[in-house]
Structure 1
Amino acid sequence: MCIVDAPEECPYFALSYVWGDEEDPFQTTLARLHAMKDPGFLEAQVLPKTIVDAMVLTREMGVDYLWIDRLCVIQDSDADKAVQIPQMDLVYSHATMSIVAACGTALDGLAGINGTERIIKQNIARVAKDVSLMDVLHLDQSHENSRWMTRGWTFQEGLCSRRILIITSDQVYWSCETSKCCESIAFEAFPTAVAPNDIIFNVLTGHKVFGEVGGGQNFAFGELDSMIRSYCTRKLTVQADVLDAFTGVLRRVAVNTGHEFYWGHSVSMRFDDSLGWANIVWYPDSEWEAQEKPERRRETHRVRSSDGTVHKVRFPSWSWLGWKNIQGVSRPAPKQVLVEPELQFMKLSLDGKAAKLCSAKEQKLDSVMKLNMCGIDQSTSAGWKGDTSIDPSLFHMDNDGEFRDSGHLLFWTSHAVLDVEDGKIYNDAREEVGELKPFWPYQMQKPSGKQSFIVMSRKYNDDNLKVLKAEKRLNALLVEWEDREKRVASRICAAGVDEAAWIGLGEKREWILVTLT
């Protein structure tokens, strides 16, 4: 066995597993890459048991090629990672089958394969001479309790796979586009028909083991909100991988729906509304201090230019990707309805040049709900809104070369400094103007005193499943100034304000050009 460049269109398996806590894991590096291509090289190495078992299983099933990340990605090459890591979904979606090691880490092996022990905890009681009673294996328990279910990368590996074999400590599960089954005698008849816009978790009647793995996933935009929420509960060893480990899901949704994404948010429809995402979490008083609290992600994302160079960009504060420990993230993907935004957002390059968020090949999308503006028109926002156009001299032009994204947004908006107390927002007359949206556990102390707020969008009520209703309220962000003179700010949390009260601030409001990092 050795590392090879596989022939085109060849059948291959892919391994999805948890690396574990190895001190010096064997992996592909630039120094040993050439030697690893020699036939028989891998047999002479001490490889983790899970990888050895996966190789044995692949060979016994008559397949010649197996893709394993630590062997097929050059681990000490930023250039190779910048090419391969954003395409992980393609590796798993093109694989003939994905092997999921849900019975431990790379060191524990695949239960029942190549001599690795299976651990089946099943109580049996003899009640008569020839009669015994036995526990039925819980359908989801071994899978739900596995470390594989806690890791960020395995989320899209499971979702994007066409066929998947899940090996747990006590049984094996199979999932593909036409069949869902397991070894247990319980619940063997699984519903399999998945229609466009179906919610996968509902179709599969609550069996989580099949709700987040391959076969039958339709990647509808209406599912994206719940997929983001599930993904945010996972953990990443390398925090800088947060976008790469979800890019495959976004790519699948984009292909299926026509949406275009920018830092985890759709820019094809209601981008402004998605910036008002919240984080709704609740912990008992005895537990909340032990929980990890939301905090800004400090790591950087690798961006590869067309010439092969790699530059690193900090994750933006305005995106859910820019924050850690947001296990209750809510509304990062609002309902698909055509709505004219109040403000015009542009993206900024590392050179400070502005460009449209959407590409020139933007696709026309259909609304899934009716829109009722409830008598609101341009005159409603005239009291707080000014000219939203950007100076053409700031635009990125073709002769400026490739657009190197910074992750920053540029836009005109309305700004005011208001008092905050116990999550409520007040004007100078101590009249309530609005409130902060949930972000921290309720037991945590919230920002207080004088705080800066900027308007992001109009508030829409989508509680009705058929009609989206406009409201005379505004979505805003509480921001911290990184450079007050240059109007460079970062998001702290979202808020909602009454539009009439905002207009009533008068001279306390100002119309400014903001860079949001």
Structure 2
Amino acid sequence: MASVKLCEICSGIDFQRHIFGDNGLQYNVKDVDIGSIGDIITRKRLCSLCQLLEQSFDTTRISKDAHCILQAVHFCLCPMQWSAKHDEFLECHHPRHVDFIVESEKFQSVTFQVCLNPVPRGFGLDGDSDRLLGETHASRFSGRLFEETADPVLFKKWLDLCESHHGDKCHLPIWPRSPPQPENLLVIDVKHSCVTTAPPACRFVALSYVWGSAKQKKLTHADWPILSQKGALEGENIPATIKDAIQVTEAIGEQYCWIDTLCIFQDDPASQQDQISQMGAIYSRALLTIVAAAGDAGSGLQGVRPGTRDVRQDIIHLPTISLLKIVDDSTSPLSIYDRISPWQTRAWTFQERLFSRRLLIFREKQIYWHCKTASWLEEKFLESEEPVKMNVLELLVHDDVTIPRSLAEWKPCYRSVKTESDKFYEIYSRLLRGYSVRQLSFGSDILNAFAGATRALALLGGDEFIWGLPKSHFANSLTWTISSVSNRRRNTCSQTVLMQDGTARELPFPTWSWSSWCCGGARNIRTSEKGTALESCIITFYSRLISGKLVRITQSSPVHTSAGVSRSPAPQWLELPQTIEKLVDITAGEEVLHSGFLTFWTSTATIYFFIERPNPHRRGPPRHTCLSTTGEVLKAIPCSSSLKTAQGDDLDVDHEISILDLVIIGGEALVGAGTISRLSGNGRMLHALSARHLKIRG
């Protein structure tokens, strides 16, 4: 095929060097100044590449004097390797993309990928559906043409490749000890277009999507006799996303699909509570999860039906290679942030993503495959023997927030995490941090949408959760904080709890639990990180059940028994607790429902806060200073968050001193204790809660 016309500047670009690097050293490949936007517009009559660039940029939003720079960028997440031969860090051997970037306030970029073949072919896997491309295959990393309407044969081949080549990493459910099939599981039979009871060892596809404002067809006991009949769903008014998911399930050769609105009785609180508690297991057992990442229930899955997406693949044919314009920019994080979908921000989809081992992701212009081993997409040949992880999916699927099948396979992020108990707490902390930034329509769902994670964690660590906090680390998890003080908002909703007799109780979320603060926006709930020598269980906590009984919240290494007997030397500042009222044993099969009230005996501290008045001669925010009763300065830190008085009023720079009553619940020794010696004589950090934030009884 004849090469295109190129101007003097574009014809002088060594694209081979940009794409494949200079002996693997990226820094040896310098950026190229293509010229100003005005120059590109002038040259477009003589250069096909300049013409395509001018068409790709929105020249009405950028200055004609803004310059366009050519850079080599990675589409993968491969780590750098050290080369003893070159005594330098080497980049991965994967060919890079070339990115034309306009350096202006209105940042814009156009990205091209390499095509090793003059004309990118269609599906192009050559041969049997279970064969991967070899390391030296000519089509490896080349571009691939695709149509406005997606090809389900490609999705089927991706599934076949994963099942036949990726082994247990993708085959085993992401759940401790591999869960059995959930009880009372209903599925959609796409072959007979009806809702039915799942057969034993059911192989099914799940849908992860956002409800939105679309009118939903919901399963009720009154509709069950109708919807369970063959052909019942064909005439129903079902949202586009659900219709498309059913169509994709059938197109890839699977018979059953699980979708929440049609597989959970929406008018039965007991059934809802039962299925919500099993949501993690449902998505963990799903063969594949279809992700609607480009809208809500009414938006449909882009590419399934004609006219649902706009696909244009521009190609520049050079003498030795061709450049294929990227349809869905996978190199620029800015392009991803600009198109964050509701699916990425909703709380309910957090655990759906967390437990899905395979994802078929429908974005606005392209469809992606993501599993525990590899990432694939429509416009590039990546189905090779060497799996590749792509930049474009890093922010979409959040692979940094995961849950292991066992504590043994978890790799800690901090040096202080050494024991399995510490691993468990770290996993819990990371999951809570990832979940808490997501948004909920109803504050009453804050624990329900996290139920799959807490149930899996309970199995993982042999633990129990009380209002979202693990019993084994109860004192430490009480010290959670919210990073964004300006967005602090109390969750005044209640949790509906079903009793064994079928009656419902409305319980407000206790103020000591993070669930008492709504998810969403920039709010980020963090638990305190463990020091190298956590001072375990200064307090023995007891939870009051709805029945009125007290049950002890057993932690890792309790210091005190219920009778007030110390098992280990108590800190010098701590008095021995008084005896808690005699506990009543819980009988087998007895209902255990926590009311939200805590009973405990603890030491308290009165802390004096001094706020410095703003100094016009000093830069930076005012500071608040922690004082001892004698006026000695203990610690001074910037006022990054607002303080409250004991009466709950905001403490601003017009106040000088505030007195807060705090409950001391724990402490830890940190590395380099000498640096915090002003906090305590033995280098120990104490954890405290404001007494007004606790709902205390006893």
Which of the five TM-score ranges fits, normalised by the shorter chain? 0.7 to 0.9
Is the CA contact (8 Å cut-off) linking 1:347 and 1:357 kept in structure 2? yes
Change (3 A) 1:160 1:389: farther
Kept in 1: contact 2:446–2:518 (CA 8 A): no
Kept after mapping to 2: 8 A contact 1:427/1:433:
yes
Partner of 1:315: 509
Gaps of 5+ in 2: 1-192, 411-423, 558-566, 612-623, 674-679
Maintained 8 Å contact 1:279/1:440 = no
TM-superposed deviation, 1:218: 4.7
Structure number with higher strand proportion: 1
Amino acid at match of 1:311: R
Cα offset, 1:309, TM superposition: 4.1
Check whether the contact 1:122–1:137 (CA below 8 A) recurs between aligned residues. Answer: no
Q: Which residue among 329, 352, 366 is the counterpart of 1:157?
A: 352
The answer as to 2:546 corresponding to 1:343 is: no
8 Å Cα contact 2:327/2:366 also seen in 1? no
**Where does residue 280 of structure 1 map in the other structure?**
483
C-alpha separation in 2, matches of 1:37 and 1:421: 68
- Please tell me whether Structure 1 or Structure 2 has the larger radius of gyration of its CA atoms: 2
Query: What's the CA shift for 1:178?
Result: 3.4
For 2:242 and 2:234, locate their aligned partners in 1 and report how far apart those are by CA, in whole Å: 12
| CA distance, structure 1, for counterparts of residue 547 and residue 639 of structure 2 | 35
Match of 1:515, as an amino acid? R
Q: What's the CA shift for 1:34?
A: 2.9
TM-score (structure 2 length as normaliser): 0.56
Say whether the 8 Å CA contact 1:345–1:410 is kept in structure 2: yes
1:515 and 2:697 matched: yes
Q: Residues 146-187 of structure 1, C-alpha deviation per residue, up to 9 Å, x if partnerless?
A: 110010011110110122211111222222333332334398
Matching residue of 2:662: 453
Please name the residue that 1:6 is paired with: 198
Residue equivalent to 1:497: none
- CA gap of 1:58–1:190, structure 2 versus 1, over 3 A, is same
Instruction: Measure how far apart 1:408 and its partner are.
Output: 2.2
Query: Which of structures 1 and 2 has the larger relative contact order (alpha carbons within 8 angstroms, sep 6+)?
Result: 1
Q: Deviations over 1:434-458 (max 9, x none)?
A: 6899995799954873432111111
2:685 to 468, 473, 479: 473
- Structure 1 Cα separation of the partners of residues 340 and 672 of structure 2: 34
- Give, in angstroms, the shift of residue 382 of structure 1: 3.3
CA pair 136-30 structure 1, distance change in 2 beyond 3 A: closer
Moved more, 440-449 or 103-112: 440-449
**Contact 1:278–1:437 (Cα < 8 Å) also in 2:** no
SS of corresponding position for 1:66: strand
Deviation at 1:102, TM superposition (A): 0.7
Larger mean Cα displacement after TM superposition, 135-144 or 226-235: 135-144
Q: Partner residue of 1:356?
A: 552
Matched, 1:242 2:446: yes
In structure 2, give the amino acid aligned to 1:246: F
- Deviation per CA, 1:235-259: give whole Å up to 9, x if none: 1122211112112122223333434
Asked whether the equivalents of residues 155 and 231 of structure 1 are also in contact (C-alpha less than 8 Å), the reply is yes
Look up the equivalent residue of 2:497 and give its one-letter code.
V
Q: Which amino acid aligns with 1:172?
A: I
How many angstroms apart in 2 are the aligned matches of 1:320 and 1:69? Answer: 27
Pair 1:294–1:382, CA change in 2 (3 A): same
Q: Assess if the C-alpha contact under 8 Å between 2:205 and 2:287 holds in 1.
A: yes
Moved more, 211-220 or 320-329: 211-220
Q: Which amino acid aligns with 1:266?
A: P
Q: Give the structure-1-normalised TM-score.
A: 0.74
- Tell me how far 1:56 sits from its aligned partner: 0.6
Larger displacement relative to structure 2 (141-150 or 327-336):
327-336
Partner of 2:363 in structure 1? 168
Compute the displacement of 1:2 (Å): 1.9
CA distance, structure 2, for counterparts of residue 317 and residue 177 of structure 1: 38
Distance in 2 separating the partners of 1:446 and 1:192: 55
- Match of 1:456, SS state, is strand
In 1, Cα distance between the equivalents of 2:362 and 2:384?
19
Equivalent residues, number? 447
Once residues 385 and 446 of structure 2 are traced to their aligned partners in structure 1, the CA distance between those partners, rounded to angstroms, is 33
Distance in 2, matches of 1:229 and 1:106, equals: 27
> Which residues of 2 match residues 186-201 of structure 1 at below 5 A?
none
Q: CA deviation at 1:213?
A: 9.4
Residue identity (%): 28
Q: Is the 8 A contact 1:160 1:213 kept in 2?
A: no
How far does residue 29 in structure 1 lie from its aligned partner after superposition?
Answer: 2.7
Aligned equivalents of 2:198, 2:532: Cα separation in 1: 41
Most deviating of 379-388 and 78-87: 379-388
